[in-house]
């Protein structure tokens, strides 16, 4: 995607998304300090109240403070997505490096295996895995990582293939470095560095998966403050309290957007072929 050719649009987009990411980072790291109330504290006497001095964004159907739940929700979303990306990168690096560097039969075997995973629609496979493993934060992270690693393994393999015959790798081998050492010291780091950027592009996409699963009741379990769960909780109150759906959805939207914008801009810079006519 190109189009942000003028520097001021680029600056505008960076200026929009970096503060947002910063805000979400601070919210998730400092949630216990910033959140005005306990996100789990139930008080049925004040349920479904509008904004007030004590509860800036009102309360939900169990009288829990919406603002505090939104802030803690940032921690759940960001934390799970970062873990997913880390897992996916590790699995992708292991399989991709092995396939690309060793080549031959191992390569074709591993790539066939990837192909099998790519045959499934990702979200539906993730649903199935959760059906097998059970709901909960850890299982959601596992399910989404298991459904996405194959894409990464493929990209990593092709990156490894381009690096494999570089002189510095050959030099390391001539100097007597073993296969594992070459991969760990000389192949994996540059590949990982290139991929971290690609992975930010995927953060938003994976966040939508996490919240989508949670909305279906197949993700994070209900008392945990999570934006998808909050929307599911608020579903029966759409006639009277639509803001209970509006706020968490807006948070998902803003966080995904904040990660998509730099992803898009960076891809423009990294991949000249995506620049259209340039």
Partner 1 sequence: MIRFILNRLLLLIPLLLVVSVLVFLLLRLGENDPAMSYLRLSRIPPSEQALAEVREQLGLNRPLVVQYFDWLGRALRMDFGLSYVTGAPVLDRLLYYLPNTLYLAGVSMLITLGLGLPLGVWSALRKDRWPDHFSRGLAFIGVSTPSFWLGFMLVFLFSIKLGWLPPLGMGSPLHVIMPAFSLSLMSLCINTRLIRTSMLEQMNARSVLYARIRGVLEKWVIGRHVLRNSLIPVVTAIGMHMGELLGGAVVVENVFAWPGVGRYAVSAIYNRDFPVMQCFLLMMTALFVVSNLLVDVLCAWLDPRLRYGKGAEL
105 binds partner 1 (CB under 8 A): no
Number of chain positions touching partner 1 (CB under 8 A): 53
- State CA 152 to chain mean position distance: 13
Least distance (Å) between residue 73 CB and partner 1: 13
Between 176 and 239, CB nearer to partner 1:
239
Q: Is 66 exposed, middle or buried (0-12, 13-18, 19+ CB in 10 A)?
A: buried
218 binds partner 1 (CB under 8 A): yes
178 binds partner 1 (CB under 8 A): no
Q: Which stretch binds partner 1 (CB under 8 A): 25-33, 42-50, 61-69, 238-246?
A: 238-246
Non-local CB neighbours of 209 within 8 Å, separated by 6+ positions: 122, 123, 126, 144
132 binds partner 1 (CB under 8 A): yes
> Taking a C-beta distance cutoff of 8 angstroms, is the pair 29, 277 a contact?
no
Residues 239 to 278 in contact with partner 1, rule: CB under 8 A: 239, 242, 245-246, 248-249, 252-254, 256-257, 260-261, 264, 274, 276-277
**Helix, strand, or coil here: 103?**
coil
231 binds partner 1 (CB under 8 A): yes
- State CA 4 to chain mean position distance: 24
Report the b/e string of 76-110 with b at 16+ CB within 10 A.
bbbebbebbbebbbebbbbbbbbbbbeeeeebeeb
229 binds partner 1 (CB under 8 A): no
> Taking a C-beta distance cutoff of 8 angstroms, is the pair 248, 165 a contact?
no
Distance CA 41, CA 64 (A): 6
> Taking a C-beta distance cutoff of 8 angstroms, is the pair 251, 192 a contact?
no
Handedness of CA 199, 203, 205, 210 (dihedral sign): positive
Among 7, 33, 53, 116, binds partner 1 (CB under 8 A): 116
Q: Which stretch binds partner 1 (CB under 8 A): 25-33, 46-54, 160-168, 215-223?
A: 215-223
Least distance (Å) between residue 205 CB and partner 1: 8
Among 1, 54, 106, 109, binds partner 1 (CB under 8 A): 1
One character per residue 179-208, x = contact with partner 1 (rule: CB under 8 A): -------------------------x---x
- State CA 248 to chain mean position distance: 17
Query: Interface residues with partner 1 (CB under 8 A)?
Result: 1-6, 112, 115-116, 119-125, 127-134, 204, 208, 211-212, 215-218, 228, 231, 235, 238-239, 242, 245-246, 248-249, 252-254, 256-257, 260-261, 264, 274, 276-277
């Amino acid at each position: 995607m190109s189009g942000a050719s003028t520097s001021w649009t680029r600056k505008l987009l960076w200026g929009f998304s970096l503060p947002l990411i910063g805000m979400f980072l601070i919210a998730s790291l400092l949630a216990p300090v910033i959140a005005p109330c306990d996100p789990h504290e139930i008080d049925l006497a004040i349920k479904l109240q509008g904004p007030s001095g004590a509860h800036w964004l009102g309360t939900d159907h169990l009288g829990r403070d919406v603002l505090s739940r939104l802030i803690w929700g940032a921690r759940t979303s960001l934390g799970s997505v970062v873990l997913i990306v880390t897992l996916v990168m590790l699995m992708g690096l292991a399989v991709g490096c092995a396939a690309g560097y060793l080549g031959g039969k191992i390569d074709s075997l591993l790539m066939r295996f990837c192909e099998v995973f790519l045959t499934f629609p990702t979200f539906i496979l993730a649903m199935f895995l959760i059906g097998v493993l059970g709901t909960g934060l850890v299982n959601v992270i596992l399910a989404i990582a298991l459904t996405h690693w194959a894409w990464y393994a493929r990209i990593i393999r092709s990156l490894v293939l381009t690096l494999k015959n570089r002189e510095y790798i050959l030099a390391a081998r001539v100097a007597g470095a073993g296969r594992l050492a070459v991969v760990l010291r000389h192949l994996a780091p540059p590949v990982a560095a290139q991929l971290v950027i690609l992975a930010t592009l995927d953060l938003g996409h994976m966040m939508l998966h996490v919240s989508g699963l949670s909305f279906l009741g197949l993700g994070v379990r209900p008392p945990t403050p999570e934006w998808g769960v909050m929307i599911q909780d608020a579903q029966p109150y759409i006639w009277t309290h639509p803001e209970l759906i509006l706020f968490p959805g807006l948070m998902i939207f803003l966080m995904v957007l904040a990660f998509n914008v730099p992803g898009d801009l960076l891809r423009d810079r990294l991949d000249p072929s995506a620049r259209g006519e340039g």
